[in-house]
Structure 1
Amino acid sequence: MTKTRWGILSTALIGTGKVIPGIQRSRTAEVTAIASRDLGRAKAAAAELGIPRAYGSYAELLADPDIEAVYNPLPNHLHVPLTLEAVAAGKHVLCEKPIGLDTADAERLLALPQDRLVMEAFMVRFHPQWLAAREAARSGALGEVRAIQCFFSYFNDDPQNIRNMADIGGGGILDIGCYPIVVARFIFEAEPLRVVALVDRDPVSGVDRLATAILDFGGGRRLDFTVSTQLTPFQRVEIVGTRKRLEVVIPFNAPQGEAGKTLADDGSQLGDRSAVASLTEPVDQYAEEADAFSAAVRGEIALPYGPADAVQNMRIIDALFRSEKSGAWETV
C-alpha cells in the first residue's frame, strides 16, 4: 500500500511526544508536514522529528496538496472547527479526544461528506491487549461480564495549562474520563442507558478535578470509574465476570513498542496469587491506530469508528455533567 501522507496541526506534546513517533513507526503512513502558529516552533519540531516541511499557520498546511490525512491535537475547543476546515480542504482527519466540547459541538461533524474520513483518536482500541480483553469477554472465558472498574489520575494544578481552563474544555472528565467510557463500550459492545456522577471542582479554575461515575449498561452490567487531575498518577482497569476477572496492566498509557500485559484471576487464592499473566505482541498503539486509519483512507477496510461513534461518547459525557447538576440518574 502506498503510504498515506500526514500533516500535523500544532506542536502539542501529545503529538510530538507520542503520536508523531507512532505514525513514523507505522507501516502505512508517513509524516510530511507540521504546522504551528509560530513558524519557529514548527521548524524546531520538524528538525527534531525529521519532518520535511514546516508551516507557520494551519491554513498553509491544509492548503498543501500533498497531504492526505491530518492529525488534530489542538485544544478541545478547536477540535471541531479545525476538523471542519481540514475536511473542507479535502483532508481526512484523525482528531484527538474528546471530539468536541459537547454533543451539539460534535454533531456538526455528522453532516460531513462520506468520502472524507473523520475518526476520534482513541488509540487503545487498536492495542492487542485491548483486543485480547474484548475477545476474553466475547468468548465466555470470563463468564458473564457484569462489572468494569477503572481508575485514572494524574496531578496538574498549573493554571496556565489548557487542562485547567474551563472555557476551552478543561477538566478531568473530558480529558481522561472519556477513556473508561470508551473501553466499557468496547468491552460490553453496548451503550449505557443511564449514568450518575459525583464531581468535585477546583475552586479557582472551575474545572472538574475529581469525578466518580456509574454507567448502567442494562442487564446487570455496569461501569464505575474515578478520574482525577489532582491526585497521584495511577491507572487501573478491572473487567470482572462470573468466572474470572481480567486486569489490563497499564491500560491507557501502554509503553510504546513494548508488550501489553493482562492478568486473569479466578479468585481461588487471596489477592492475585492465582493470577495468570498473558503478554500480547510488542506494539506502538499509535502506530496501530495510524495503520488502521491509513488503510481506511486507501479503501482497504471500512473506517472502524466514525463521527457517529464520537458523538455517542459526547452524549454520555453530557449526561454525566447533567447528573452533576441534578444529583440524580440521567438518561443518555
Structure 2
Amino acid sequence: MMVKWGVLSTARIGREKVIPALQKAKGVEVAAIASRNEENAKKVAAELGIEKAYGSYEALLADPDIDVIYNPLPNHMHVPMTIEAVKAGKHVLCEKPIALDADEARLLLEMPDDRFVMEAFMVRAHPQWQRALEIVESGELGKLQSIQAFFGYSNQDPQNIRNKAELGGGGLMDIGCYPIVASRYFFNAEPERVVSLIDRDRNFGTDRLTSVMMDFGEGRQAQFTVSTQSAPYQRINLVGTAKRLEILIPFNAPAGEETILRLDSGSVLGDGAIEVERVPACDQYTLQGELFSRVVQGEEELPYGVGDAIQNMEIIDAIVRSERNDSWETVGSPD
C-alpha cells in the first residue's frame, strides 16, 4: 500500500532535498503540493513530477486522498498549519523547530491520538547516528562524559527568513536544535540546567553565534556552538572515559555518499590509534519518509512524538532565558 504525501509550500528544503528523497522512498507517493501562488505550485509540481498542485494550503488539506502532510513552512507557521492538517485528518511530519516556544508546542497535545505528528529530525534515521549510539551503549567508550558539537554556516542575506527574528530566525532555532537533540539522544537523558553565551546581529536581531553548556547530571556535560555567520563546518565528538568517537558530518550527511565515524583510543597522546568505520551511503530524508510511512500504516511504533518536541523547545526556552538573565537556568522552570 502506498502512503500518499502532500507538501505544504514550495520551500527550498522541500524542492531540493525532501521531495526528491521521498520520491525514492518505498511505499511513498508524493501526490500533491501546495503554494499560496497556484502558478508557482503548478511549476514546481511539473518540475518534480507531482500529480496535483493547489493554490492554497487549505485546498491541499481538504484533499481526501492525502494521508500525510509534510510541513516545511516558516517556523511561525509550524504549529498553526500542523493543527489545521490534523483537524483535516492528516498525519504530519513537521520541520524543526516544531514551534516558537514550548507553550506553543504544547498546543499540539490537544490533537487526536489517532493522528501522528513527528518533528523532522532526519538525523535520527541515519545509520551513522544509530551506529554511534550502538558504540556508546556497548560501553566501548567507557562512561560517556562529554558531548561537544559545532554547526555553522554563513548567511547574511537580510531577506532570508533565517535572519528574521520575528519569524523564529537565528542560529539557535535553525540549527541549535540539532546538537540539543544529539546530546539527548546519545546520553539518553535530559539536561537539568543550561547556560548560554549569545552574540546577536545588530541589524537582524538574530543570534549569529551561540554557545551553550548543558548539565545532564552525574558528571555528564554537553557543549555546543552554532553560528549563522561562520565558515561552514560541523562535527560531533562523544568523549568517554576510555575512548572518543567522532562523527564527521553529523547533520547534513550527503545523500548517496558514505559517512565516517572515527574511534580514537588515545592518538592525541601518541599512544593509541584511530579506527575508521565507514557507514554505507544512504539518504536520511528517504529513510525518514519510509519510517514515518510505516508508522502511519501501523507497521512500526512512532519513535518519538509531540512530547519529545516539547522537551526540545523547553531546552531552547531555557537557553534564551539564560541569555536574558545572565545565569544558569533550570530546564522547564519559569522566570
TM-score, normalization by structure 2: 0.97
Aligned to 2:245: 246
Structure 1 window deviating more from structure 2 (76-85 vs 230-239): it is: 230-239
Do structure 1's residue 322 and structure 2's residue 321 form an aligned pair? yes
Q: 1:39-58 CA deviation, whole Å, 9 max, x = no partner? A: 12111111111111111110
Contact 2:200-2:207 within 8 A present in 1 as well: yes
Partners of 2:34 and 2:271 in 1: CA distance: 48
Match of 1:48 in 2: 47
- 1:188 partnered with 2:183: no
Separation in 1, partners of 2:5, 2:327: 44
CA contact (8 A) 1:106 1:311 kept: yes
Letter in 2 for 1:101: L
Q: 1:150 corresponds to which letter in structure 2?
A: A
Aligned-partner Cα distance in 2 for 1:276–1:51:
44
Q: Which runs of 4+ in 1 moved over 3 A?
A: 268-273
Work out whether 1:139 is the aligned partner of 2:123: no
| C-alpha spacing 1:50/1:272, structure 2 compared with 1 (3 Å) | farther
Displacement of 1:260 in angstroms is: 2.1
| Alignment match, 2:11 | 12
1:121 match: 120
Distance 2:257 2:61 in 1: 34
2:108 maps to 1:109:
yes
Report the CA distance between 1:271 and its aligned residue. Answer: 7.7
Pairwise CA RMSD of aligned residues?
1.2
1:91 maps to what in 2? Answer: 90
* Residue 224 of structure 2: aligned partner: 225
Q: Over residues 17-72 of structure 1, what are the superposed CA-to-partner deviations in whole Å (9 max), with x where a residue is unaligned?
A: 11111111111211000100111211111111111111111011101111000000
Q: Equivalences for 1:136-285 in 2 at 5 Å?
A: 136-270=135-269, 274-285=273-284
Structure 1 residue 257: Cα displacement: 2.1
Instruction: Output one character per residue of 1:243-292: Cα deviation in whole Å (capped at 9) or x when no partner.
Output: 11111111100011222211111114558982111112221100111111
| Distance in 1 separating the partners of 2:270 and 2:330 | 36
Match of 2:292 in 1: 293
Q: Classify the secondary structure of the residue corresponding to 2:152.
A: strand
Distance 1:187 1:174, change over 3 A: same
1:36 and 1:9 map into 2 onto residues whose CA distance is: 7
The letter of the residue matching 1:103 is A
Q: Distance in 1 between matches of 2:59 and 2:287?
A: 28
How far apart in 1 are the matches of 2:281 and 2:259?
7
The code of the aligned residue for 2:114 comes to D
Identity of aligned residues (%): 59
Q: Deviations over 1:306-332 (max 9, x none)?
A: 000000000000000000011111000
Structure 2 unaligned regions, length at least 5: none
Contact 2:267 2:274 in 1 (8 A): no
Three-state SS of the structure 1 residue aligned to 2:280 is coil
SS in structure 2 at match of 1:25: coil
Residue 259 of structure 1 aligns to a residue whose secondary structure is strand
The verdict on how the C-alpha distance between 1:132 and 1:206 changes in structure 2, with shifts beyond 3 A counting, is: same
Query: Equivalent residue of 2:191, what SS?
Result: coil
TM-score for the superposition, normalised by structure 1? 0.98
Please give the alpha-carbon distance, in whole angstroms, between the structure 1 residues aligned to 2:34 and 2:307. 28
Rounded to whole Å, the distance in 2 between the matches of 1:134 and 1:150 is 16
SS at match of 1:149: strand
| Whole-angstrom CA distance in 2 between matches of 1:86 and 1:112 | 10
Asked whether the equivalents of residues 28 and 291 of structure 1 are also in contact (C-alpha less than 8 Å), the reply is: yes
Q: Aligned partners of 2:110, 2:57: CA distance in 1, in Å? A: 23
The 8 Å contact of residues 200 and 208 in structure 1, kept in 2 or not, is answered as yes
Q: Name 1:311's counterpart in structure 2.
A: 310
Which SS does the other structure have where 1:191 is aligned? coil
Q: Which amino acid aligns with 1:11?
A: T
